[in-house]
Structure 1
């Protein structure tokens, strides 16, 4: 395996040389013997900042590949005492050992199935960053985290979560999945709902505290607390979202059913069960923004991270899903108005990071439609 040295954050690691694994002049990280994806730099950057606020001491990077994520946690977050690395692939384990020696990281390296490892150890932060769906690892991740600790998951499985593949959504996440105009946000809510149900099996409450969508993936951080009653309280906030494809009217319910729009009589589309509560802990978002500006200006994609966090901070006060202006405008047979004009008209609204033509607001769909009409 031919290796090159790269720098990301404060880590310098060895990764497979992309030029050695090109096909017809193109390269995909999955073609290399060990996976390293530079497109996930923002994910790792923002995770470093969030963890610097949460202050875990013992971290498990359950699907380590090159080891870059766990190495950055150790080198860039004050107070981390130990990182446990794991990968089922022996080539990855060999490379992880080289990289933690190169970076003088205090940690252990395992060559195990991630679920097996997570049923053997305990830690206050568990990171699940798979290639695809995190669903197969959720139960074991919540088993491994101590009460009061944290779990973070990444999902690149958007085809299932936003209903491009409704059968995959049913199979992996137990979601009734039809495409709604705000499916990009519903995808993360569906993912959170699945995680909450898995944690509840263990009588643990997985509380979402920071969630975001970027490029082609979702990332969610959970605080995990113990107790059946806390778990039951979260389960009570799982809902089904309904939208009329004809006029854009919305409803939500605790129950799944096929219903017709009360405004125009069209059969409504449905998504759920999905998390109906807050996607963010607003205090955490504020702390992340402050920490980012004071301690992490060196980050590889600092400007992108800053823009994302600023947008999240503005939209965090709104708990209902965003409105997609082009969808509603097309129902009115009207050109899409300037977004800033609609936001000004509503007086209680913001941009959303989920969609460039979406807005967040506490107002209902009729009020949004009225602002579209007059602009």
Structure 2
């Protein structure tokens, strides 16, 4: 095989060769690094659960001693992993070389060129005892792996765009309690600009709101849960992140018809005021204790009364948009986060290129209020009322002094995630307006500004004293929480294209504002023609 025209790519402990027809995107190194951390933590949990079932963890069943799982060593009781859309095979090779406790990894792709590239890269990295290259349609491979002996403990779906076409087969071919790692890069669909497109793909209506990144996560989780429910299964999210241009969710799949019935109470419609952007959630179902049941843990399922809002907003008298349904239960698991934070202290993981960002993001996620769905953006609220920006520590302090909980969201730098009702937030801004008055000329009839600021605050909130807990540890330690894009044109790249070539980047630069440049060129050409025509007329008159 001629390797002279191939690009050499080194990432983590893996080194691969690839051509332009096989997709590789360096932008998603954080995605791969984080996945390696999660898989190491899940592998520990998987082995612990095997022990609890009294299944001895032995190699080749030749001795009765329990062997510690190791990186790069095949474990007969280890994880069976499927990377359904492997491309270059880089992710599978890195899993083999950087994740402990693996039995086998199937690196699958539908492209002949991609599979040939995977075979060569697997051989070059000496991981052919763990990684098995495979060529098939990902959906067909998963549909034919639904029997108990063929199911995978881990399925990684990282498609270009929406993952929805793979969900049905994935939830059926993952083992009981198995892990799904799913990426969605079609963030424009979640933004609320084309709600009809999002409904077609995900069965949910997004809203144009500052918390659109968390809403995107919750829409994806709703879609996965709905897919799983059809087969008597339900999801348990372990970690859900919004990063760069994509969202990534890590969740487990369990079987339980009774627990599936609780799904309606985990899904909610979202009402958004068209004037002040106030958000109100209404669950699709309710759970109440059943006093007549012999089992005290048994619940009674019900349907909520509604709607949860009046025809006009209580704060500014504008109407509402309605979106959803979205997943309104927690999107992270506290116990798994603690295990993950302990796992990434391992020396072998500290050398990851994006390790500082992983620590920063996980620290913010651990500080989040997991039982509070969605968030507000302080800048957006102040902009709506034409107010001078409230310092984030003062806003957080006002809520903490009033005995409410508050946190950031990892998805937004100016986020305000709190259990305080919306009228408390507006009252705090009314108190701030007294200290920093808004020009009365801005109090225009029919605006949300006039409706909100003309009301008196029901309580005077403390906007002077900084609360001791207002500044979270992740901020105090100056961790890498919300990093800027490391390069220009940071994005998902082009489908089936090697994303490390300078020519590709130059092409993207050339295509920026292409139509505008063409119009300007045509305008200049027309002006030059007019000038020449006038010159010719003057010369002919002479």
**TM-score normalised by L of structure 2:** 0.64
Pairwise CA distance, 1:260:
3.5
Q: How does 1:1-375 map to 2 (within 5 A)?
A: 2-16=5-19, 32-55=20-43, 57-105=79-127, 106-121=130-145, 122-254=151-283, 259-295=311-347, 296-347=349-400, 348-373=405-430, 374=432
TM-superposed deviation, 1:100: 1.1
Cα distance in 2 between the residues matched to 1:34 and 1:145: 27
RMSD in angstroms over aligned alpha carbons?
A: 1.8
Distance 2:369 2:110 in 1: 38
Runs of 5+ unmatched residues, structure 1: 17-31
Distance 2:319 2:274 in 1: 8
Would the aligned equivalents of 2:369 and 2:417 in 1 still touch at CA under 8 Å?
no
Alignment TM-score, normalising by the size of structure 1:
0.91
Size of the alignment, in residue pairs? Answer: 360
1:194-222 CA deviation, whole Å, 9 max, x = no partner? 01001111111122111000011000011
> How far apart in 2 are the matches of 1:254 and 1:312?
24
The change in CA–CA distance for 1:245 and 1:230 in structure 2 (over 3 A counts) is same
Question: Does structure 2 conserve the Cα–Cα contact (< 8 Å) formed by 1:282 and 1:316?
Answer: no
Are the equivalent residues in 2 in contact too, given 1:151–1:224 (CA < 8 A)? yes
In structure 2, runs of 5+ residues without a counterpart are 47-78, 146-150, 285-305, 433-462, 464-542
Q: Verify the 8 A CA contact 1:352 1:359 in the aligned structure 2.
A: yes
Separation in 2, partners of 1:221, 1:235 = 21
| 1:107-141 residue CA offsets vs partner (Å, 9 max, x unmatched) | 22221111000111211111100000001101111
Deviation string 1:210-239 (CA, Å, 9 cap, x unpaired) is 100001100001111002222222233111
Query: Deviation of residue 243 (structure 1)?
Result: 1.6
Runs of 4+ more than 4 Å apart? 255-259
Shift of 1:367: 2.1
Deviations 1:143-168 (A, max 9, x none): 11011111110000111122232121
Q: Which moved more, 1:145-154 or 1:260-269?
A: 260-269
Pairwise CA distance, 1:318: 4.3
Q: Distance in 1 between matches of 2:194 and 2:279?
A: 23
Q: Which residue of 2 aligns with 1:21?
A: none
Cα deviation, residue 177, structure 1: 2.6
Conservation of the 8 A alpha-carbon contact between 1:324 and 1:359: yes
Which structure has the greater CA radius of gyration?
Answer: 2
Structure 1 residues 46 and 372: alpha-carbon distance in aligned structure 2, compared to 1, 3 A threshold: farther
